[in-house]
């Protein structure tokens, strides 16, 4: 089984890279990519553990992109973590996250929620700070029953704690990914708050910039969206990807190893990967 999208404590997941890989192994995953937000810091540890368990490990990253005033996620698979423009670009983005976290805390304070910066940093444990860490603090305070419901009432556009942030542009993110020898994948397209027309424009721009993959089966899609995006993948001749978007127990919609296979009309993004051919021969 394959999982090409998950998060460790290096970004906003709850398991350290080594534990995350062991969890994936226990859930039957044989080809795994770790795709932390804007950070490559977990790849070495994850690869070491994956290989010691006889799994195949794919270097990955999930880059936050600002596109038409919306945050869009682009997954880069088979990237080279040593590629300087990718490393340096992501380092600059992480610095921006620290400034954003300070502004989010100021905004939440205006709504009567205090000490959110300290609260969020307690959850990020010295790793990169994200809205998910604020969400966990808001759940702890009892403002919502779980992190998913936090994002209906806080931290998003028009709600307390929202701060606009300058992420990378779509073109820059794809340049970093392609420059490092990777394949760009449009992450969970069904999750974006945009109409059909704008989504079409996003997909077309992504393809023009050399993007080749799209997530079809993901823990961030509702099951009824799998076929919708399988059809879109087919229509645009995009390669289909599959990943849990696992962030840890209680944080994700779905555990690793429990997603269905890609619909049969999809061309899997891994169809020509040597790791896949090795696994399927076992």
Instruction: Show contacts with Zn ion in window 9-68 (CB under 5 A).
Output: 62
Is-contact 71 165, C-beta < 8 A?
Answer: yes
Distance CA 180, CA 185 (A): 14
Among 245, 252, 268, 273, binds Zn ion (CB under 5 A): 245
Q: Pick the closer one to Zn ion by CB: 38 or 245.
A: 245
Q: Which is nearer to Zn ion, 113 or 219 (CB)?
A: 219
Q: Which of these ranges, 70-78, 87-95, 232-240, 263-271, lies near Zn ion under the rule CB under 5 A?
A: 70-78
Distances in Å between the alpha carbon of 112 and those of 135, 141, 222? 15, 12, 34
182, 79 in Cβ contact below 8 A? yes
Q: Phi, psi at residue 38, to the nearest 5°?
A: 55, 30
CA nearest neighbour of 206 among 179, 242, 233, 180: 233
Q: Which residue's Cβ lies closest to Zn ion?
A: 73
Q: Which is nearer to Zn ion, 192 or 236 (CB)?
A: 192
Of 212 and 221, which CB lies nearer to Zn ion in the complex structure? Answer: 221
Residues 138-197 that bind Zn ion (CB under 5 A): 187
Query: Which C-beta is closer to Zn ion: that of 94 or that of 109?
Result: 94
73 in contact with Zn ion (CB under 5 A) = yes
Q: Which stretch binds Zn ion (CB under 5 A): 8-16, 46-54, 71-79, 196-204?
A: 71-79
Burial of residue 274 (number of CB atoms within 10 Å: 0-12, 13-18, 19+): exposed
* Smallest separation (angstroms) from Zn ion to the CB of 104: 18
Position 3 contacts Zn ion (CB under 5 A): no
Shortest CB 118 distance to Zn ion, Å: 25
- Tokens linked to 237: 């001749």
**161 CB neighbour count, 10 Å cutoff:** 24
Residue 64: which H helix or E strand, with range?
Answer: strand 56-67
Q: Given the rule CB under 5 A, which residues bind Zn ion?
A: 62, 73, 187, 245
């Amino acid at each position: 089984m394959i999982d090409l999208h998950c998060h460790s404590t290096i970004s906003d997941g709850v398991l350290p890279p080594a534990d995350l890989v062991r969890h994936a192994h226990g859930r039957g995953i044989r080809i795994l990519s770790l795709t932390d937000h804007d950070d490559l810091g977990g790849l070495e540890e994850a690869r070491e553990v994956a290989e010691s368990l006889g799994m195949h490990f794919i270097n990955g990253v999930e880059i936050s992109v600002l596109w038409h005033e919306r945050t869009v996620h682009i997954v880069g698979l088979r990237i080279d973590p040593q590629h300087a423009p990718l490393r340096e670009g992501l380092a600059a983005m992480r610095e921006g996250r620290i400034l954003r976290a300070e502004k989010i805390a100021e905004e939440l304070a205006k709504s009567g929620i205090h000490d959110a910066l300290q609260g969020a940093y307690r959850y990020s444990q010295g790793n990169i700070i994200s809205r998910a860490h604020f969400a966990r603090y808001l759940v702890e305070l009892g403002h919502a029953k779980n992190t998913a419901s936090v994002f209906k009432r806080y931290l998003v556009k028009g709600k307390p704690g929202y701060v606009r942030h300058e992420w990378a542009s779509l073109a820059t993110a794809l340049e970093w990914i392609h420059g490092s020898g990777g394949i760009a994948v449009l992450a969970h397209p069904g999750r974006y708050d945009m109409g059909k027309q704008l989504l079409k424009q996003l997909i077309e721009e992504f393809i023009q910039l050399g993007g080749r993959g799209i997530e079809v089966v993901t823990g961030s899609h509702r099951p009824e969206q799998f076929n919708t995006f399988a059809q879109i993948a087919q229509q645009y001749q995009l390669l289909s990807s599959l990943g849990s978007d696992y962030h840890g127990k209680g944080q994700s919609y779905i555990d690793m190893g429990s997603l269905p296979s890609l619909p049969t009309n999809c061309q899997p993004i891994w169809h020509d990967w040597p790791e896949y051919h090795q696994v399927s021969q076992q």
